[in-house]
Amino acid sequence: MTSPDTGGDREKVVTKLTSTLRQDLKVRAALHGLDMQNAVEAGITAWRGLGSNPAPVDTAGAETYATFLPAELWDGFRDDCKDRGVSLTQGIAQAVTLWLDSNPVPEVKRPATVRRIVVCNQKGGVGKTAITAGLGEALAENPAALVPVRVSKHFAALLDDHNRPEDPLALEDLPGLGQRVLLVDFDPQSHLTKQLGHEPLPMNGDSLTNHMAGEAKGELADLIVAVDEDRFGNRLHLLPACTDAFLLDVRLASVRAREAALERALRAVEADYDVILIDCPPSLGLSMDAASYYGRRRDNEETGNSGVLIVVQAEDSSADAYGLLTSQIEDMRADLALDIDYLGLVVNHYDARRGYIATSSLQSWMDIKDPRVVGVIGDLKEQKEAVRAKRPLLAYAPRCEQSVALRALAREISK
């Protein structure tokens, strides 16, 4: 069955396809940057060029499927199916399978230098931990599956809650980024560790603090645990915190080249990851110096590959804390002649219903062009529920507004 396609020289074709083949076709076409109809066209063209029929495909449960194809291609395909003694349903299944076999999942692009993202703000309560976890989750999602993403052009609509883009048509289904990610809980309060369902490291054992202080009791890799959720595969790992980090600044005071202590500790595991995210404590002490130094641009590293990501809120006290933090970073840049890139500002816990203070503060953050706002994350219930459940947000509620926004953030800072 066909009907004209008013948008071009194609006609609407109605056939049947199994749900599995349809989903695989949708995902694979997106991975290769193609429309599904173009993938089907390529598959049919390849099938017609075969010298003999390929192996039969199980079409049990095939359901109605519509696409747009050039009329002459579809007419020729139907004739070929008749000549080869196969049904249209079997023929289209073979053609789609042939295209899938010829177009495997592309390899994930790996950074030349491990990305080091320092998530920070010396003000507590702004949600650094939630942003660190959510960003890491978004970076690690399955590259062979599609996930809903809302791109940054929608940020402006958040200034007016009535204009918030709730229309699902505003979302775009994109493949997961498939990065190998290490989340480092650098805060002695251990919020990141506990939120992801793990226990802090014991005080009498080994820890990141010990490695930074030059008193390691074993290999750092032995302290790392996996975040066990199917959608992340084995790509998302956590270095848990230990409450001995409360003493980190004191212990670093006597360490040689203390600003490089975090880098010396993490160098041992960098080769295993594409991205390392540091969840910093609300502090402007030596630990923050070490984190900033770790995020500096290394020799031959591209600008914006690594750096600091500052989490703020749409209220006045965040602006004061932001000023103190950037002053410390600027002092390090000047004193040690470092290139420390600002990856951007994330406005967290945003809710326009809080009125003029929230909306005007958001506008003020957006007016800062360097660093620019790279994400606006709403203050919604799903994040709190995920924390209570001790599960990653993107596994607990993968389609919620916050998950969608975190995926946009991951892509925005990966450009």
Q: Tens digit of pLDDT for each residue in 131-169?
A: 999 999 999 999 988 899 876 544 444 444 434 444 444
As a whole number of angstroms, the distance between CA 214 and CA 106 comes to: 42
The domain locations on the chain are 2-102, 115-412
Rounded alpha-carbon distances, angstroms, from residue 261 to 29, 52, 213:
45, 65, 7
pTM: 0.86
- Residue carrying structure tokens 């804390």: 321
Q: How far apart are CA 47 and CA 318, in angstroms?
A: 61
Closest CA to 69 of 127, 146, 2, 126: 2
- pLDDT at res. 109: 87
**The total number of residues written for the chain in this structure:** 415
Q: What is the mean pLDDT of the chain?
A: 89
Contacts of 166 (CB under 8 A, 6+ apart): none
Tokens in use for 78? 């139907």
Across the range 284-312, mean pLDDT stands at 94
Residues 6+ apart with CB under 8 A from 314: 347, 349, 350, 354, 357, 358, 359, 361, 362, 365
pLDDT at 170: 65
Query: Where does the pLDDT of residue 390 fall: very low under 50, low under 70, confident under 90, or very high at 90 and above?
Result: very high
Which DSSP helix (H) or strand (E) runs through 276? strand 275-279
For residue 310, list its beta bridge partners: 120, 345
Helix (H, G, I), strand (E, B) or coil at 143: coil
**CATH number belonging to the domain at 115-412, selected among 3.40.50.300, 1.10.10.10, 3.40.50.10800, 3.40.50.261:** 3.40.50.300
pLDDT tens per residue, range 237-263: 999 999 988 889 889 888 888 999 999
Residue 358 has pLDDT above 60, yes or no: yes
3-state secondary structure of 11: strand
- Is the Cβ–Cβ distance between 346 and 406 less than 8 Å? no
Q: What is the DSSP letter of 201?
A: B
What is the structure's pLDDT at 5? 47
* 13-47 tens-digit pLDDT: 999 999 999 999 999 998 888 999 999 999 999 99
CATH number attached to the domain at 2-102: 1.10.1220
